[in-house]
Structure 1
Amino acid sequence: MNRILKEEMEQDFFYVHDSIVYGAIKKCGIHYDHANYDDFVQIGRIKLVDAYKEFPKSLFNEEYFYQFTGYAYRKVYWALMDQIRKEQRIFEREAALPDSFEEWQMTDPEPFDEDFVMWELFHSMLQCLSEKEQVYLKDSVIEQLTITEIAKKRKVSRKTVYAWRKQVAKKLEHYQAVIKK
């Protein structure tokens, strides 16, 4: 059955059935001082309304009213447990990075400094180029595309891409001295 919770019934519905949501939250071990407590309440309320929409019997019959309570409780509880599992998986995937190079067991931070300098140099190169030249440089350096691939990607001729390359080389001549150092 697919019924709709009308606005005039909404306040009474939540007054009567909100305890299902809070009971499921309590069973899940989520306390009111939890960082995502309000999110869990909203997830529970959404699932409560879903249960109301999907429950096959009439809630005006007392026998079915109590069946709805159990049905809704299970639906809310399962939704909350699913959310807890999702958060747990995200937490497990996110590893805390060490605070120092020693914890990474690295003796030489020099490669990171070189990479930083190269990216700063690349960024400064982009600043002196036109938009199309920047597109060419990003495609050729970052994505390492060929002239033909760039032409197909940008829907221009290969001759146009060669022209971009020539203009980039001309504008970036003074960077060659910096790179060779």
Structure 2
Amino acid sequence: MRYLTWLAAYQNYEPELPANLADFRKFAFRRIKWRTVDYLRNQTLRTQSQVKLEHALPIAIDPMADQEIHWQLAALLTELLAQCRPGERIYLTEFFLEEQSVASIMHRHQVSRRTVYNWRTRLLTKAHQLYQQQARN
């Protein structure tokens, strides 16, 4: 690391080298010093944020848990889409799936902002009801 930092300092030093060799040495020393300090700071932050092995043993890694959540969400969205009215379907597909803004939905379908917010409110109410039904089952 030290040699690469010295090389980077050499490449980034602008004055002519034979005439300013003493200044270059100071410049390179400062570069190496601060690069080393940054490296040590990053290493310290990395080790502080790591979980100690004795605490990591009870952590369970279940790769299927994420897949099951994905399947539940897909089922919820499919069921929700079947129950949607046309405006709610527009909001669901364009806002959540295509990540369009409320303004672009308004302009594309020539409706007011209030209408789009009403679609959202009705959609979220239906989604909440479906989620509650799935939680009971």
Q: TM-score, normalising length from structure 1? A: 0.40
Higher helix share goes to which structure?
Answer: 2
Q: TM-score, normalising length from structure 2? A: 0.49
